[in-house]
Amino acid sequence: MNHLAAQCIRCHKVEKRKGSDIGPNLQSAGLQGRSHHLEAIVEPQKTIAEGYGSISLTLKNGQSVAGLFKSEVKRVIEIKDAEGKITKVASEDVKERTPVISTMPPMGAILTKREIRDIIEYLSTLKSKK
């Protein structure tokens, strides 16, 4: 909540407490294992929480669309912008796309090992069902 450099609540919250929805709500983080938490914190690009990765598309008509990659089903890509609005794009209209990436900063250089261990233990206690 209060770490000045890590600022987890700039992007996350736990249940309905103070925070933001840029990253996933961490209320059920404890249902995942400690090794997942460690990886999510020090190497965020390795696995991206579903629906929370960022992507940028360049369309054949020259427009670009960027936001959170929600899904790609039956050749329709859904992208969510910062206001929560969903844009649908037909896969065949896409000229170029970036890989889906995490906007979470890697915390290995920002937090001490002890702080990382404390966060992992804290996350392990969060077991609300979504």
For every residue of 32-48, DSSP letters joined together read S-HHHHHHHHH-TTSS-
CB 39 within 8 A of CB 47: yes
Contact in structure between 3 and 68 (CB atoms under 8 Å): no
Strand partners, 87: 79
Q: Which stretch binds ligand HEC (CB under 6 A): 24-32, 56-64, 72-80, 89-97?
A: 24-32
Q: Which of residues 94-113 bind ligand HEC (CB under 6 A)?
A: 102-105, 107
Interaction of residue 13 with ligand HEC, rule CB under 6 A: no
Of 14, 19, 27, 44, the residue at the interface with ligand HEC (CB under 6 A) is 44
DSSP-assigned beta bridge partners for residue 4: none
Q: Does 25 bind ligand HEC (CB under 6 A)?
A: no
DSSP state of 17: S
Element of type H or E holding 121: helix 113-124
Contact segment (CB under 6 A) with ligand HEC among 33-41, 59-67, 69-77, 79-87 equals 33-41
Binding mask 49-68 for ligand HEC (x = CB under 6 A): x--xx---------------
User: What span, in angstroms and rounded, lies between the C-alpha atoms of 36 and 97?
Assistant: 27
Query: Using the rule CB under 6 A, which residue among 22, 66, 94, 126 binds ligand HEC?
Result: 22
- Per CB under 6 A, residues contacting ligand HEC are 6-8, 10-12, 22-24, 26, 29, 37, 40-41, 44, 48-49, 52-53, 102-105, 107, 119, 123
